[in-house]
Amino acid sequence: MNRTLTIETTINGRRRSLDVAVNHTLLDVLRDDIDLTGTKECCVVGECGACTVIIDGRPMNSCLMLAVEIDGSEVTTVEGLELEEGLSPLQGAFLDEGATQCGFCIPGQLMAATALLQQNPDPTVEEIQEGLAGNLCRCAGYEQITKAVLAAARGVKQ
C-alpha cells in the first residue's frame, strides 16, 4: 500500500534491517513496527520532547524524523538505558529523587538527560534546566528531575 524502503540501523545495540514505510516517522516505526513503546507520543510537532531518542549521540525528537533518515545510524531509546547490572545511575536517581510522577514524559526526559550528561558530565542547575527545556512535564516534576540529573552526574564522577 505505502511504499517502503529497507534501512540498516542499530537500535539499542542490536543491528536491524527494517522495511519502513517512507511516510512513517521514526516514532511510528519504533512504536508500531518494532514494539519499542517506551518512546512516547504526545504533541507530534517537536515541542513536548516525550518522543526523544538519542541518534548518534544527539537527542532528537523522533516524531520529527522520517524513519528512513536513520539508515546507517545508531539509535538509543529508553529501553536501551538499563545496564546489565540493573538501572543506570540516572534511572536510579530519577526514582530516588522523586522525579517520576505519572511517568509519561520520563522516557523523553531520561534520553535528553543522558545525552546532556554525555556532552557535559558536570552540568550546573542552569545547564540542566536549559538542556531539558524541550521536555515538558505537566506533573511539573522539574525540580526533582533537575536534582536527579545532578545526583547522577555527581554519582558518576565519584
Partner 1 sequence: MNAVGSSPRRGGGYGRVTGHQEYLADIKLPDALHVKLVTLECARARINAIDSTEAEQVPGVHFVMTAADLPDPMPRFGPQFQDRPVIAVGETKYHGEPVAAVAAETKDAAEEAALLVKVDYTKLEDGIFSVADALAPDAVLVQDPALRGASSFAQTNIIDEKHFGWGDIDDQEAHLVVEDSFQFPMVTHFAIEPHGFMAAPDGDGIEVWSTIQHPYLLQKIMAKMLDLPLSKVRVHAPDPGGGFGGKQIPKFEPLVAFMALRAGRPVRLVLSLDETFQQVRRSSAEIRVRAGFTAEGVFTFMDIETNFLVGAYVDIADRVVSKSSYSGAGPYRIPAVKIIGRTILSHTTPSTAFRGFGIPQIGWARESLIDEAALQLGIDRLQIRLLNLARYKEPFIPSEEADGDWEQTVRTAAKRIGWGDPLPPNRGRGIAVGLKSGPTTGLSYSTVRLLYDGSAMVYAGTSDMGQGARTIFAQITAEELGVPLDDITVVMGDTSVVPYDQQTSASRSSVLMGTAVQRACFEIQGKVRAMAAKLYNVDEGDIKVDQGRLLLPDREFSVVDVMQEALAPLGGEVIGNGEMRKDKEPDHPLGGTAAFFEFNCTASEVEVDMETGHVTLVKHVTVGDVGKALNPLQVTMQDDGAAIMGLGHTLMEHYIFDNEGRVRNIGAIDYRILTSMDLPLDLHSESVENADGPGPYGIKGVSEGSLLVTAPAVGAAVREATGKIIRDLPLTPQRVWEALQEDENGS
**Interacting residues toward partner 1 by CB under 8 A:** 1-2, 21, 23, 31-32, 35-45, 47-48, 50, 77-79, 81-82, 87, 91, 94-96, 98, 100-107, 110, 128-130, 132-146
- Count Cβ atoms within 10 A of the Cβ of residue 140 and give its class: 0-12 exposed, 13-18 middle, 19 or more buried: exposed
| Alpha helices, DSSP H, located in 69-124 | 89-96, 106-119
Residue 12 beta carbon to partner 1: minimum distance, rounded to whole angstroms: 10
Residue 5 beta carbon to partner 1: minimum distance, rounded to whole angstroms: 16
Of 74 and 127, CB closest to partner 1: 127
Of 8 and 142, CB closest to partner 1: 142
Strand partners, 8: 17
Is there a contact between 110 and 94 (Cβ–Cβ < 8 Å)?
Answer: yes
